[in-house]
Amino acid sequence: MNKLGIFMNFWEKNWDADHAKYIKKAAKIGFDVLEFQAQPLLEMSKGHMRDLKKLADEVGIELTYSLGLDRAYDVSSPDEKIRLGGVDYLKRIVECIGYMDGTLLSGVSYAGWGTPSYVMDDKRPLWENSIKSMREIIKTAEDNGVTYCVEAVNRFEGCLINTAAEALAYADEIDSKNIGVLLDTYHMNIEETSIGDAIRLVGDRLTSFHTGENNRTAPGKGHLDWDEIFGALKDIDYKNRIVSEPFVMQGGEVGRDIKVFRDLIDNPSEARIDEEAAYLLNFEKEMLKKYGLA
């Protein structure tokens, strides 16, 4: 069966939190993978990173990483100082992931998170800056055994890679075994004409997969067509990770950045979110069984 995971900020309103607590919690609920924002790694001592990795190994959790790149480190920037600073910053993050024996980074990791606020008739110059940056960063990813997944995100969170086709075109230009593609059902729901066709287009180059509903609640709670989604994963014989990335609580840094301005479940206490996590894990296991992926 595919490894099933959860993003730590399902529970936490701030990006940095008590990672050890959530490693234990994810294992207890039955997940195989815990994903969290990569940036806090830069603030951790090597000893702390080793302790987290040891704990994760003990409880059988794989740690994966995602990020929404701060625009101060925008590797698609026409400002060479910002671009080069971003290259250095992302290389340092990749080195931390390598130090943790991690193998996967995803997210808006190829440009600053967000969209330009000026009139832009052609994104090609930003794309080319990003490609130039990534050809440098990918060498560090290769040296550290990290697959650097570009995630196609919706138009409100980025302008470079909105669709599966754009993610593939980007990966083609990097041409490394360490560049990967990540699709996310929440973003695909906004940008793709057909979610099933987008999954089939990426095919065996799909390195990781994020799940979330149209409104970023837990899979199965909104109006996405999960039969279409899991049917397409079966069509491509998808064997990699499936990491759920719901955000249901207003407030904090997460509410600010993800634009969660109301609670999306009643009384989102920790116990209530634990229940929701157990529910979604079961939902995904059942869908995998239904489509013969289990």
Give the active site residue among 35, 192, 213, 245.
245
Q: Which is nearer to Mn ion, 85 or 220 (CB)?
A: 220
- Binding part of the chain for Mn ion, among 19-27, 181-189, 214-222, 278-286 by CB under 5 A, reads 181-189
Helices 124-144 and 80-99: angle between axes, nearest 10 degrees:
30
Question: CA-to-CA distance for 225 and 228, rounded, in angstroms?
Answer: 5
Helices (H), 145-268: 164-174, 185-191, 195-202, 226-235, 252-258
Q: Per CB under 5 A, does 241 bind Mn ion?
A: no
Q: Are 103 and 240 in contact (CB under 8 A)?
A: no
C-alpha 178 chain-centroid distance: 16
Q: Minimal distance in Å, beta carbon 184 to Mn ion?
A: 4
Q: Minimal distance in Å, beta carbon 245 to Mn ion?
A: 5
Q: Per CB under 5 A, does 221 bind Mn ion?
A: no
Give the active site residue among 151, 157, 192, 276.
151
- Binding part of the chain for Mn ion, among 20-28, 120-128, 202-210, 270-278 by CB under 5 A, reads 202-210
Among 91, 210, 221, 241, binds Mn ion (CB under 5 A): 210
Among 35, 184, 192, 276, binds Mn ion (CB under 5 A): 184
The residue length of the chain stands at: 294
Q: Token match 């990672």: residue?
A: 19
267-286 residues near Mn ion, rule: CB under 5 A: none
Q: Is 245 a catalytic residue?
A: yes
Q: Per CB under 5 A, does 216 bind Mn ion?
A: no
Q: Minimal distance in Å, beta carbon 119 to Mn ion?
A: 28
Q: Which is nearer to Mn ion, 32 or 245 (CB)?
A: 245
**Rounded alpha-carbon distances, angstroms, from residue 170 to 22, 128, 216, 263:** 33, 10, 26, 36
Q: Which is nearer to Mn ion, 129 or 163 (CB)?
A: 163
- Binding part of the chain for Mn ion, among 36-44, 108-116, 204-212, 270-278 by CB under 5 A, reads 204-212
Q: Is 35 a catalytic residue?
A: no
Helices (H), 16-151: 19-29, 46-59, 80-99, 124-144
Question: CA-to-CA distance for 28 and 44, rounded, in angstroms?
Answer: 25
Question: CA-to-CA distance for 11 and 6, rounded, in angstroms?
Answer: 10
- Binding part of the chain for Mn ion, among 216-224, 231-239, 245-253, 259-267 by CB under 5 A, reads 245-253
Q: Which tokens sit at 198?
A: 């987008």
Question: CA-to-CA distance for 242 and 274, rounded, in angstroms?
Answer: 18
Residues that are catalytic: 151, 245
Binding interface with Mn ion (CB under 5 A): 184, 210, 245
